[in-house]
Chains A and B, each alone.
Chain A
Amino acid sequence: MTRDETDSRIRALIEPFNKKGARVDDATSFAGDLEFDSLTVMDFVAAIEDEFDIIISMNQQAEIENYGQLVDAVCKLQG
C-alpha cells in the first residue's frame, strides 16, 4: 500500500473521533490539536489496528505525537 492510500484510510477512521472537525495534516497533534484523551486514543488505535491488521503497542504509541508520524508508523508496520 502506498503512503497516500494508507493516509486516506486513516483519514476516514479519524473522522468519528475528530469531534471538533479540526483540520488534519501531518503536523496535527493528537493531544494538542485533536484533544484526544487517553480513552479516545485507545479506541482510535484499536480501530487502526483492526483496519490494517497490525499491532501498535503502547510502547510504539508513545513515539507517535502527530498525524504524519502515525501514517509513517502504520506504513512501516505493514512491512
Chain B
Amino acid sequence: MNDLFSKFDALIQQRETLLAGGVEDPFNLVMERVLSPTQAVCNGRDTILLGTYNYMGMTFDPDVIAAGKKALDDFGSGTTGSRVLNGTYQGHREVEAALCEFYAMDHAMVFSTGYQANLGIISTIAGKGDYIILDIDSHASIWDACKMGDAEVVPFKHNDLEAMERRLKRVPEGAGILVVLEGVYSMLGDVAPLAEMVAIAKKHGAMVLVDEAHSMGFIGEHGRGVAEDQGVLDQVDFVIGTFSKSVGTVGGFCVSNHPKFEIMRLVCRPYVFTASLPPSVVATAATSIRKLMHGSNKRAHLWENSRRLHGGLQALGFQLGTQEPQSAIVAVIMPNLERGAAMWEALLKEGLYVNLARPPATPANMTLLRCSLCAEHSAEQVEEILGMFERAGKAVGII
C-alpha cells in the first residue's frame, strides 16, 4: 500500500524537531477558562489574550449574551437545515437586516463562516472565461475560492498598483473581471491603498470585491472598513465580512448593492449545501452589529492601544510588520521558526498569548508573532504586555 500520508512526512518531522527542543506546542493550546475578552486560563496559567481578533470585545457583552440565551430558549440549539430549506429563521432575516443597516447597502447574505462567504461568492460570480485579479497575499479562503471556481486566476504583487494595472490591461477584450482585495491584510496588519486600487479596477471595467474581515467595527467613520475610510465604499461591488472577529461570534457574510444579488441564494453552493447558523449565534451577531454602530468611544480606545503597543515594541527594538500602526494588528517579525516558537513560549510563560504565524500562511516565508488588540484592553494591560515582551525578548535574545 502506498501510504497517502507520506506527503506530510516533512511537516511531521519539522513539528517533532520543534517539540523535541522542549517548547510547548504552539498549535495545541487549550483555553481552560475564559474570563473576559482579554483574559483566560491557558495551559493552567492566567493569561492576557493578545491574539484573538476579538477587536471590539463583544464576546462578553451583557446584551449580546442575553440575546443569545433568549434565542436558545425560544428557537432551540440549531436549525438542522440549509438556508434555502428549513434553515432560515426569523433571526437570520434579522441579522441580514442589521448588516444592510450597518453598511447602508441593499442586500446581505449570511453564510456559516467567513471562509465560506469568500469560497461561495468568488467561485460563483467568476466563471469560465472570466478573470480573477487578486493580491498575492490574499487570505486562504480567497485562494481556495479561486481553486474551486473555473475562472482564470492572476495574482499581482502585494499592494502594488502598477503590477495590478499591468495585469488588468492584459485581460482579453470582453472577458469579465473580478478584482479581489482586502482592507487590512491580517499577516502584517497593513492596509491596502483601496482608493487608488478601486479607481484602477473601475477604469478597466472590473467588478471589485473587498474582504473587510479585519476592519469591521473600527475602521471608517461608521466602522464599515477601509473602503469607507478611503471614500470608495460606494464603488465596491461586494464586501465580504465575518462575525468571528469584531462581531464576536461565528459566521460570514457578503453585502452588496448589485440589483440581481438575491439570485446568489440559489446558485451559491457553499450557501445552499450546508446547515445555517444556530439561532443563538445569529441573535448574538445581530445584537453585536447593532451595538457596533454606536461604538465610537471603544473605537478610539482601540486605536490608542494599537498606537501604544506599536510604538512601545518599536522602542524596545522589535522589528514590526509596518512602520506605523495601520490597524489593530501589530505583527512582530521573528528571525526564524525556532526562535519564533521560543519567543512565543517565553511570552506564554510570562502570561501572554499571541498568535504564532509561519509559512506558508505568511508572506515571504516569515515567522510572525501577531498581536491583535482589543478595545477592552486597558491602558495598564498594554504597559504590562510591553514589560512581558521586553523580558521575553531579552531572554530569547531577540532584542
Contact = CB atoms under 8 A, between A and B. Distances in A.
B167 A49 contact: yes
- Among B154, B156, B360, chain A packs the most CB atoms within 10 A around the CB of B154
Interface stretch (A6-14, A20-28, A54-62): A54-62
A32 to B, nearest CB: 15
Interface of A is mostly: helix
A58 B154 contact: yes
Interface string A37-74: 01100100010011001110111100000000000000
A58 B155 contact: yes
A50 B153 contact: no
Nearest to A60: B152
B170 A58 contact: no
A33 B300 CA distance: 54
- Chain B interface size range: 10 to 19
A57 B157 contact: no
Contact size class for A?
10 to 19
* Residue of A54, A55, A60 most packed against chain B (CB within 10 A): A55
A39 B364 contact: yes
A58 to B, nearest CB: 4
Interface string B362-389: 0011000000000000000000000000
B171 interface: yes
Closest 6 CB pairs of A and B: A57-B152, A58-B153, A55-B170, A57-B154, A59-B152, A55-B154
10 contacts: A38-B360, A39-B365, A46-B156, A49-B170, A55-B154, A55-B170, A57-B152, A57-B154, A58-B155, A59-B152
Given A39-B365, A57-B153, 19 more contacts: A42-B136, A42-B155, A46-B163, A49-B167, A50-B166, A53-B170, A54-B170, A55-B131, A55-B152, A55-B154, A57-B131, A57-B154, A58-B146, A58-B152, A58-B153, A58-B154, A58-B155, A59-B153, A60-B152
